[in-house]
Structure 1
Amino acid sequence: MAVADAVPVRGSWTRALPIALPAAIAALMIGACFLGPLVLPVPAPTGGNVLESYLPSFSTGHPLGTDPNGNDILSRVLHGGQASLTVAVSVNALGLLAGGTLGALSGHLGGIGDTIIMRVLDVLIAFPSLVLILAVAQSLGPSQANTILALAFFSVPAFARISRAATLRLREQPFIAAAQLCGTPAWRILLRHVAPNIVPQLITFAMLGMGLVIVIEGALSFLGLGIQAPAPSWGNMIAQGQQSLSATPMLVVWPCLALFVTVLAFNLLGETLRSRWSGE
């Protein structure tokens, strides 16, 4: 009996581990970035002492060393993570809300409205999004808010297409037809029947989008079109460190490592959720 009871336990752990591990890593990175500066004795990320510039890693009072301006690298990595994660969460939340709503309306209502909405979104998808993001970021000016707006705008078509496809599948289900025959308004059908069934798919896509947005935000900040120094972000920290890469490589290694671990965790989490949802 004991052996038989152990089998389902082992199976449940096998199924839970692919989700639990990346989720735990992502939660650890989020907790470290947002709670770390509150509980750890780290100095402010700016306003360092230039007399303490270029301190090596594991220096007293500066576990990861200092940058050319004497700022603590650990503090800047944690605060930079706050900026990158805030952008990623905001972009995916706005994209999910706007794109998910447009896609659900388009798929449920059909007709000329569906055609117009999807053709407009198809035009946006047809353009090279990275080039347009760079152009929009340049025209709006470099800031965290403008970075969020630029990235969120171009995330809407992808969320809308996923939402529309899921809604079209649901529209053929008997419970949707029954609700329509009972005279239920379209908005109530969308809120009570469609939304609960498509939100899990949109959240799964958002998990994959988190990693992509973090990378793009880092690239924009690296190019000087995102979050501007002295405010830290992983992208502008890498840009600053590459100027003295041969002499002090750790200035680049630490933000790159934080970015890599965070993106990997969200990608693995999103891919696992996608596989579970699709039944693979």
Structure 2
Amino acid sequence: MAVADTAPAVRAPGPVWTRTLPIVLPAATAVLVVVACFLGPLVLPVPPPTGGNVLESYLPSFTPGHLLGADPNGNDILARVLHGGRASLTVAVAVNVLGLLAGGTLGAVSGYLGGIGDTVIMRVLDVLIAFPSLVLVLAVAQSLGASQTNTILALAFFSVPAFARISRAATLRLREQPFMAAAELCGTPGWRVLLRHVAPNIAPQLMTFAMLGMGLTIVIEGALSFLGLGIQPPAPSWGNMIAQGQQSLSATPVLVVWPCLALFVTVLAFNLLGESLRSRWSGE
């Protein structure tokens, strides 16, 4: 009597587009937003974001010369959305780059050294995590003054512990690999092991978290600007545009709709990109 084959069937991989679309689509959207915000004002026939003509106040969307309309000061809304996106993206990129470099380095050093060094570094970072970061960011912005630079420094400072934890966890897993032991047995200096072996292997995890952090940072920056503690008018940002538009929301909702839509699409793109990268690197 034949014995039935109980081995599980191997699932054939699906079409290439089903595996790449979850990454390509949000990545393309994010790139499109970045290009539009940084290059759009240079190549599109849009006026400056400030110094508008008050005679053109509250122009509706799709008015000739003002595709998205004009705000109460006669400023072109499209120009302000693009320049506001440039400001928000600049803050997000700067915060995550600083957090990745500082936190990634601390976490890698901590995980590689182990012992008392690891304990000291991580306990200091645990203290930072214990504080309500958003409240402290608000306090820092209030005490140092509302500006783009202060917003970047405050948000970057409180992003370091999260990057450090991810970097440390990835480094601890790497320490168990044979090539790490081989490098140490060959007498390779610790700094060289970190640069040559640890950094390239933990970079995917850090970059994935940075993509997720981009969306979160844009939201926080928008909240700070909405509260008047971020980028200050007349310089545009999506947050202060929403704050200004809420005063006439019932009469001219487009003042809020366009920056909200830009904020939503950008944050969604970075969140989906980060989640797709996480799934790809984790093998899900």
The TM-score by the shorter chain falls in which range?
over 0.9
Q: Matched residue of 2:62: which SS?
A: coil
Residues in 2 aligned to 1:54 and 1:256: alpha-carbon distance in whole angstroms: 18
User: Are 2:150 and 1:146 aligned?
Assistant: yes
* Unpaired runs of at least 5, structure 1: 1-6
Letter paired with 1:121: L
User: Are 2:80 and 1:76 aligned?
Assistant: yes
Q: CA deviation at 1:111?
A: 1.3
Aligned residue in 2 for 1:122? 126
Aligned counterparts, 1:75-224, within 5 A = 75-224=79-228
Aligned residue in 1 for 2:63? 59
Letter paired with 2:274: G
Q: CA deviation at 1:129?
A: 1.1
Residues in 2 aligned to 1:243 and 1:217: alpha-carbon distance in whole angstroms: 20
Residues in 2 aligned to 1:81 and 1:198: alpha-carbon distance in whole angstroms: 30
Aligned residue in 1 for 2:18? 14
Letter paired with 1:50: V
Aligned residue in 1 for 2:49? 45
Q: Which has a greater percent of helix?
A: 1
- How big is each residue's C-alpha offset from its partner over 1:224-279, in whole Å with a ceiling of 9 and x where there is no partner? 00000000000000000001111110000000000000000000000000011111
Q: CA deviation at 1:132?
A: 1.0
Q: Matched residue of 1:54: which SS?
A: coil
User: Are 2:284 and 1:276 aligned?
Assistant: no
Aligned residue in 2 for 1:233? 237
Q: Matched residue of 1:23: which SS?
A: helix
Q: What TM-score results when the alignment is normalised by the length of structure 1?
A: 0.96
Q: CA deviation at 1:99?
A: 0.2
Letter paired with 2:164: A
Residues in 2 aligned to 1:209 and 1:218: alpha-carbon distance in whole angstroms: 14
Q: CA deviation at 1:60?
A: 1.1
Residues in 2 aligned to 1:246 and 1:266: alpha-carbon distance in whole angstroms: 31
- How big is each residue's C-alpha offset from its partner over 1:12-49, in whole Å with a ceiling of 9 and x where there is no partner? 11100000000010011011101110110000000000
Residues in 2 aligned to 1:270 and 1:139: alpha-carbon distance in whole angstroms: 33
Aligned residue in 2 for 1:248? 252
Letter paired with 2:157: F
Residues in 2 aligned to 1:135 and 1:123: alpha-carbon distance in whole angstroms: 18
* Unpaired runs of at least 5, structure 2: 1-11
Residues in 1 aligned to 2:67 and 2:177: alpha-carbon distance in whole angstroms: 58
Letter paired with 2:69: G
- How big is each residue's C-alpha offset from its partner over 1:53-84, in whole Å with a ceiling of 9 and x where there is no partner? 11011111000000010000000000000000
Aligned residue in 2 for 1:26? 30
Residues in 1 aligned to 2:223 and 2:46: alpha-carbon distance in whole angstroms: 27
Number of aligned residues: 273
Residues in 1 aligned to 2:19 and 2:231: alpha-carbon distance in whole angstroms: 39
Q: CA deviation at 1:127?
A: 1.1
Letter paired with 1:235: G
List structure 1 segments (4+ residues) > 6 angstroms apart after TM superposition: none
The sequence identity of aligned pairs, in percent, is 87
Letter paired with 2:186: C
